[in-house]
Amino acid sequence: MPAQIIDGKLIAQNLREEVTAKVARRLADGKTKPTLATVLVGSRVDSATYVSAKQKACAELGMGSVSHNLPEDISQEELEKIIKSLNADKSINGILVQLPLPAHLNEERILQLISIEKDVDGFSPLNIGRLAQKGREPLFVPCTPYGCIYLLEKSGVKIEGANAVVLGRSNIVGMPAALLLISRNATVTVCHSRTKDIAGMIRQADILIAAIGKTEFVRGDWIKPGAAVIDVGINSKPDATKKSGYRLVGDVNYDEAKETAGFITPVPGGVGPMTIAMLMNNTYRAAEIQDS
Ligand code: GUN
C-alpha cells in the first residue's frame, strides 16, 4: 500500500493560525507585539531568501520584525556589539542569526552571546545543553528538528520505543533531531559520512529523518515496510520539463520510497514550511516568557 503523505504545508498552516490567534489575544490584552530581529551577514542568496520568508511570516501572523543586513566583511567585534544591543533592547523578543556565517566569524561565540530568553532558534549552547540532558528542558528547541517531530506526532506515528535513524549529524538538524527523538524514548542511530552500512541501518528504522543534503540519496529498497520517512533535504535536480531547468527534491528518492513507507513527507511541502511556523511559535513564546 502506498504511503500516507504527510502534508507539511497544511500542518504548518494550522500551527500558523494557532500562533496568529495567540498573538491577536496578546495584543487585545494590551501586551507588546512579539518582535523578531533577523541578522543576515553577507549576500548568500539562499540565506537572504530564508530571512525574507521569516520576516514575511512575522507580518502575516501579526508580529513585528527588525532586520539587520550586514556586510560580508563585518568584524567579529562589530557583530558582537549588534547582538549585545539586541539582547538589551526590550522591544526585541527573539534574535535569529542566519547560518552559516562567513568563515572569518566565530559562530560559536556569536550563538553563545544570544540571551537564552531570546534564542528563538534554540542554537545557544545553553539551550542545546539542556536538550541533551535528561530531565532538563530547553527554553527553545531548534525549529527544523522540532518541525520533524511535530509532523510525526500530528500524523500519529509512535515515537516511543521506535528504532529511529537520523541521517546527518549537523548542529542545525541532525544532532538536535536525534536528541529530541531520545527525549521521546526512541532508540536512535545517527548515520553520517563514515557510517559503514547506511542502507543496512536504515532498513531497520521505523522512523527515518534524512538530513544529509544529498540528492535522492536514500533508495526505496532501503526503507522498512511501513516506516515513517521525514525528508529534510532541499536539493535542486536538473529537469528540462521545468521553465527554471530544475526542480526541488529531497535526500530520499520519493517515488521509490513512497511505495514501501507507511508515512512520507514530500519535497517541497513537507518539512520546509514547518521551520518558519516553529520559529513564529518560538517568537510568540519568547514574548510571553519576557512578560514575566
Ligand atoms: N540555516 C539553515 N537553517 C537555519 C535555521 O533554522 N536557522 C538559522 N538561523 N540558520 C539556518
Is 134 labeled as catalytic in the residue annotation? no
Is 4 labeled as catalytic in the residue annotation? no
Question: In this structure, is residue 241 part of a structural domain?
Answer: yes
Catalytic residue among 7, 55, 98, 224: 98
Cα of 259 from ligand 1 centre, angstroms = 31
pLDDT of residue 63: 98
The range of the structural domain enclosing residue 73 comes to 30-115
Question: In this structure, is residue 282 part of a structural domain?
Answer: no
pLDDT of residue 124: 94
Q: What is the CATH number of the domain that holds 67?
A: 3.40.50.10860
- 167 and 64 in a common domain: no
Q: Which residues contact 285 (CB under 8 A, 6 or more apart)?
A: 140
User: Residues 269-284: what's their mean pLDDT?
Assistant: 98
Which of the 8 DSSP states describes residue 64? E
Question: In this structure, is residue 255 part of a structural domain?
Answer: yes
pLDDT of residue 150: 98
Question: In this structure, is residue 266 part of a structural domain?
Answer: yes
Question: In this structure, is residue 130 part of a structural domain?
Answer: no
How many domains does the structure of the chain reveal? 2
How do residues 46-58 score in pLDDT, each as one tens digit?
A: 999 999 999 999 9
Cα of 1 from ligand 1 centre, angstroms = 35
How do residues 149-200 score in pLDDT, each as one tens digit?
A: 999 999 999 999 999 999 999 999 999 999 999 999 999 999 999 999 999 9
- 216 and 154 in a common domain: yes
Catalytic residue among 54, 118, 224, 258: 54
How do residues 67-103 score in pLDDT, each as one tens digit?
A: 999 999 999 999 999 999 999 999 999 999 999 999 9
**Residue 1 confidence (pLDDT) above 90:** no
**Residue 242 confidence (pLDDT) above 90:** yes
pLDDT > 70 in the chain, percent: 100
Ligand 1 in reach of 275 Cβ (< 6 A) = yes
Ligand 1 in reach of 281 Cβ (< 6 A) = no
- 147 and 106 in a common domain: no
pLDDT interval class at 282 (50, 70, 90): very high
Neighbours of 10 (CB within 10 A): 12
**Residue 292 confidence (pLDDT) above 90:** no
d(CA 235, CA 217): 11
Q: Whose CA is nearest to atom 8 of ligand 1?
A: 98
Q: What is the CATH number of the domain that holds 148?
A: 3.40.50.720
- 267 and 148 in a common domain: yes
Ligand 1 in reach of 121 Cβ (< 6 A) = yes
Q: Which residues pair with 27 in a beta bridge?
A: none
Catalytic residue among 121, 206, 231, 251: 121
Nearest to 43 by CA among 13, 74, 18: 74
Q: Which residues contact 137 (CB under 8 A, 6 or more apart)?
A: 130
Question: In this structure, is residue 128 part of a structural domain?
Answer: no
Q: Which residues contact 156 (CB under 8 A, 6 or more apart)?
A: none
- 93 and 214 in a common domain: no
Neighbours of 2 (CB within 10 A): 10
- Say if CB 56 and CB 65 are below 8 A apart: no
Ligand 1 in reach of 143 Cβ (< 6 A) = yes
- Say if CB 260 and CB 229 are below 8 A apart: no
Question: In this structure, is residue 281 part of a structural domain?
Answer: no
Of 41, 54, 121, the one to substitute when testing ligand 1's pocket (max ligand atoms within 8 A of C-beta) is 121
- Say if CB 138 and CB 144 are below 8 A apart: no
How do residues 219-235 score in pLDDT, each as one tens digit?
A: 999 999 999 999 999 99
